[in-house]
Amino acid sequence: MYVALLSLGPSSVLLISRKAGVARATTYLMLENLIRVGLVSTYEKNHSLHYVAEQPEQLRFLVARRRKELDKEEALLNDVIPKLQAFTWQEDQRPVVRYYQGKDGLQTLRSEMVRISQPGDTWYNFTPMDHLYRVFGESEFTYDRPRLARGIKSKTIFTTKSPELKEKLLALPDARRIQQRFISPKKFTSGTGVTIFGERVAMGTMEDQLGGLIIESASVAQAMRELFDIAWKALEV
């Protein structure tokens, strides 16, 4: 549009439209934009509005003006960005969450915990045993074997309404690798189990909708481990 107007000289919208090969309605809009940035001006002749292109040198002034505007914007950004960063999660701080659905998902989650953990690691568990056995049945008695085979230790705060199960769990051998403390089901009523392991936290819901998740976050795992320690010491006999 600008090139067409340069070659025509002062012209009406109709002539400019024909020269540029642009619809007349669109020509009006484009000319308004060119006027706004200072590349086209207007005047009246014989009661008709004519448009004239400013000399190409005007483009240098446009660039210079834009450069000043950008300098101002950059100065503003330099002031604002540090303030915005105070509200921004850094990439390595963002927890990664993986979800698992149904009973099969819970079994996969538990297998993942064993796979990810390293020999000598310790798991810290909040475990609603009655819910756990209701979901996994007798297979729960063999669940610890892969973990123990890898040399992974555990400290567990568990709850159950069964006096027999309570005594059985508290009497488990090998206290160096398996430590357990009981909490009343009146105090721990949730059907969701929690395990803190390494820099991750696993949660498994064993009530109406079976499923679970693993949160990968060193800070979240640390916070949960500290809460576990507080609960563990409070249950010390």
For 175, the 3-state DSSP assignment is: coil
Tens digits of per-residue pLDDT, 224-237?
A: 999 999 999 999 86
- pLDDT for 141: 58
Q: Which residues does 176 contact at the CB level (< 8 Å), separation at least 6?
A: 153
- pLDDT for 143: 66
60 phi and psi angles, rounded to 5 deg: -65, -40
Q: Which CATH class is domain 95-234?
A: alpha beta
Give one word for 84, left, alpha or beta, with left for phi > 0 and alpha for psi -120 to 50. Answer: alpha
- pLDDT for 81: 79
Tens digits of per-residue pLDDT, 74-122?
A: 888 888 877 776 665 555 556 789 999 998 999 899 889 998 898 999 9
Structure tokens at 57: 């040198």
Q: What is the mean pLDDT of the chain?
A: 87
Tens digits of per-residue pLDDT, 166-197?
A: 888 888 766 567 899 999 999 999 999 999 99
Q: Where in the chain is the domain with CATH 3.30.870.10?
A: 95-234
What is the rounded CA–CA span in Å between residue 92 and residue 22?
A: 52
- pLDDT for 142: 61
* One-character DSSP codes across 21-71: T--HHHHHHHHHHHHHTTSEEEEEETTEEEEEEPPTTHHHHHHHHHHHHHH
Domain 2-53 in CATH 1.10.10.10? The answer is yes
Let me know: does 109 contact 140? Beta carbons within 8 Å: no
Q: Where in the chain is the domain with CATH 1.10.10.10?
A: 2-53
Tens digits of per-residue pLDDT, 40-75?
A: 999 888 888 899 999 888 888 889 988 999 999 988
Structure tokens at 114: 């064993």
Task: Name the strands in the sheet holding 192-197, side by side, starting at the edge strand that comes first in the sequence.
Answer: 96-101, 211-216, 200-205, 192-197, 122-128, 153-159, 178-182
